[in-house]
């Protein structure tokens, strides 16, 4: 593993070299989904994404928010997926909305889950058997 | 080193990788490295409706640090061999 990989080794190794200059999806630990062209990487899975955008999905609505050139710290990376350009990226029932619309939907979803959280805490406090 | 060698022998088999964020991905094990990073080919997500963004992902790289489980075919594992290797490693290590 310490020697440089030869040209054939790229096909068998776990290096991100096979994803270079391709459009990829990066899942982050905080749940965000970034998409862009992989321009650089290293052994920690740090990555440089060109033309990056964040795909925000709430229910059946989605929006791509442009971000530009991004450097991602590897410790935040969950998964890097090679996007097959021949296939549809999203199910056909999904509706593309504007940035303000998706941010509003995110707020609603966040408030709903916070409410569920506080209600659960109240139930636990009451200690129903 | 033991599990790295073990996974190297499993290359080509169908596995399901369950991540710490509860995402489960089924695919063919393409490669593994010393950090137990995994590359899968021909991937499909187990609960596709919950993860619509993964629809067109067919190959992926999974960082070793985020893996919770790797589910293997029951006949894809020689448990006795693994048991011996673990005993040897425990004795030597």
Task: Residue A31: give its domain's CATH number.
Answer: 2.30.30.100
How many Cβ atoms are within 10 Å of A89's Cβ, its own excluded? Answer: 20
For A94, the closest chain B residue by CA position comes to: B52
The domain in which residue B63 lies consists of: 2-92
Contact A37, A21 (CB under 8 A): yes
CB contact under 8 Å between B37 and A27, yes or no, is no
Contact A36, A22 (CB under 8 A): no
A10 in a structural domain: no
- Interface check for B10 against chain A (CB to CB < 8 A): the answer is no
DSSP A9-69: GGGTS--GGGGTTSEEEEEETTS-EEEEEEEEE-TT--EEEEEEEEEEEETTEEEEEEEEE
pLDDT at A103 > cutoff 60: yes
Q: What are the pLDDT digits (tens) for A31-74?
A: 999 999 999 999 999 999 999 999 999 989 999 999 999 999 99
Helical (H) or strand (E) element with B26: strand B24-32
Number of domains in chain B: 1
CB contact under 8 Å between A14 and B55, yes or no, is no
CB contact under 8 Å between A90 and B33, yes or no, is no
Share of chain A above pLDDT 70, in %: 89
Q: What are the pLDDT digits (tens) for B38-77?
A: 999 999 999 888 899 998 899 999 999 999 999 998 888 8
CB contact under 8 Å between A14 and B37, yes or no, is yes
A24 in a structural domain: yes
CB contact under 8 Å between B21 and A25, yes or no, is no
Provide ipTM, 2 decimals. Answer: 0.88
Number of domains in chain A: 1
Sheet holding A77-83, edge to edge: A95-96, A61-72, A47-58, A33-41, A23-28, A77-83, B57-62, B38-45, B24-32, B14-19, B67-71
How far is CA A5 from each of CA A111, A121, A123, rounded to the nearest angstrom? Answer: 50, 53, 57
Out of A12, A25, A81, the one facing B31 most closely (by C-beta) is: A12
CATH number of the domain residue B18 falls in: 2.30.30.100
Distance from CA of A119 to the nearest CA of B (A): 24
- Interface check for B21 against chain A (CB to CB < 8 A): the answer is yes
Q: Which of B33, B46, B52 to mutate to test the interface with A (most CBs of A within 10 A)?
A: B52
Whole-angstrom distance, CA of residue A10 vs CA of residue B61: 13
Contact A29, A61 (CB under 8 A): no
pTM, full prediction: 0.85
Output the average pLDDT for chain B: 91
Distance from CA of A129 to the nearest CA of B (A): 28
Q: Determine the straight-line distance between the first and last CA of chain B, rounded to whole angstroms.
A: 11
The residue ranking higher by pLDDT, B20 or A8, is: B20
pLDDT at A119 > cutoff 50: yes
Q: What is the pLDDT of residue A7?
A: 54
The domain in which residue A26 lies consists of: 16-127
A4 pLDDT band, cuts 50/70/90, is low
Q: Which of B68, B44, B41 has its CA nearest to residue B56?
A: B44
- Interface check for B40 against chain A (CB to CB < 8 A): the answer is no
A73 in a structural domain: yes
Sign of CA dihedral B86, B90, B91, B93: positive
């Amino acid at each position: 593993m310490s020697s440089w990989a030869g040209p054939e080794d790229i096909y068998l190794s776990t290096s991100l070299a096979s994803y270079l200059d391709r459009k990829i999806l990066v899942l982050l630990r905080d749940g965000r989904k970034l998409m862009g062209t992989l321009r650089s990487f290293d052994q920690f899975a740090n990555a440089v994404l060109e033309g990056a955008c964040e795909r925000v999905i709430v229910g059946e609505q989605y929006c791509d928010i442009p971000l530009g050139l991004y450097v991602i710290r590897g410790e935040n990376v969950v998964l890097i997926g090679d996007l097959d350009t021949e296939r549809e990226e999203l199910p056909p029932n999904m509706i593309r909305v504007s940035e303000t619309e998706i941010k509003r939907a995110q707020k609603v979803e966040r408030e709903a889950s916070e409410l569920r959280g506080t209600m659960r805490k109240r139930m636990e406090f009451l200690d129903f058997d | 080193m033991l599990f790295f060698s073990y996974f190297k022998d499993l290359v080509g088999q169908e596995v399901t990788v369950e991540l710490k964020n509860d995402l489960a991905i089924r695919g063919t094990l393409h490669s593994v490295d010393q950090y137990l990073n995994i590359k899968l080919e021909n991937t499909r997500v187990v609960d596709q409706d919950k993860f619509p963004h993964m629809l067109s992902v067919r190959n992926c790289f999974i960082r070793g640090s985020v893996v919770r489980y790797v589910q293997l075919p029951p006949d894809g594992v020689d448990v006795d061999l693994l048991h011996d290797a673990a005993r040897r490693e425990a004795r030597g290590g």
